[in-house]
Amino acid sequence: MIRLATVLYLSILVSMALSQVVSESPAAGETAASAPVLKLSDSGLDSALRKQINRLPRQVNDQFENPGDMVNVVIAGSQKNVQAALDAADWHVADTNKKIAVLNAVLDTYEEKDYLQMPMSTLYLFGRPQDFGYEMAEPISMVASRHHFRLWKAPFTWKGEEVWVGAGTHDIGFARNQRNGRVTHKIYPLVDAERDLIGGSLQKADATKSLTYYLPKKPVRQARNATGDGYESDGRLLVIVLNEVRQ
């Protein structure tokens, strides 16, 4: 019974993918939630943190070394605090195995639950896959439209705190991968909206101590991700210092 349900679910996913392939035109099918108004810190970043951020790669890459999503968020806080903050902000850890993800989706559908942890592709920074992948979406639109947030632990600390480097994007539908022609997710090209959504969600959850924009050296203004989608940015990263986890 579960095997039959899995086949049916996969058929539904394929049908949705083929029916929701959007045009290559930047205007087609592109929507995004209004960016929240962030409460920013009055003080700038100290020189030590600025120096480390300036050394960060500006983009992540795929397994073939194709440049990908923009690095647009930096978070200072322990792993425990990061996980607790994202959980409080209604972000969900993504499944890493597609087969397990499909089975989980089938079982949750069978049990009339909302499945909010569709699989996320692997991207690389600092020579390794993301340490964590988070998603946010309404259950009904999870397959086609999702907010993605990948995180890597940075190779440095700041004032004794762990630092996490993130890349956030918003999937808005399906398109053809411009490198191999396969169906893949299409991202909303104004990626600063996703950067601010991440910050706004954490701020709304009362998980932040401060939020500060920082324009690094050689900022990304226009680029393409690993599947060929173009995107643009004002080049700034959002630097988030987290509150301590409340016991």
pLDDT band at 4 (very low <50, low <70, confident <90, very high): very low
Assessment of whether the complete model's pTM goes beyond 0.85: no
Q: In a 10 Å sphere around its CB, with 0-12 CB exposed, 13-18 middle and 19+ buried, how is residue 109 labelled?
A: middle
CA 127, 128, 132 angle in degrees (round to 5)?
145
Kindly tell me if the per-residue pLDDT of 115 is higher than 60. Answer: no
The mean pLDDT of the chain is 79
Q: Which residues of 77-96 are buried (b: 16+ CB within 10 A; e: fewer)?
A: beeebbbbbbebbebbebbb
Kindly tell me if the per-residue pLDDT of 66 is higher than 80. Answer: yes
Residue range 174-192: mean pLDDT, rounded? 63
Query: Could you tell me which residues are beta bridge partners of residue 175?
Result: 184
The total number of residues written for the chain in this structure: 247
The closest alpha carbon to 97, from 64, 73, 127, 120, belongs to 120
Kindly tell me if the per-residue pLDDT of 186 is higher than 90. Answer: no
Query: Could you tell me which residues are beta bridge partners of residue 185?
Result: 174
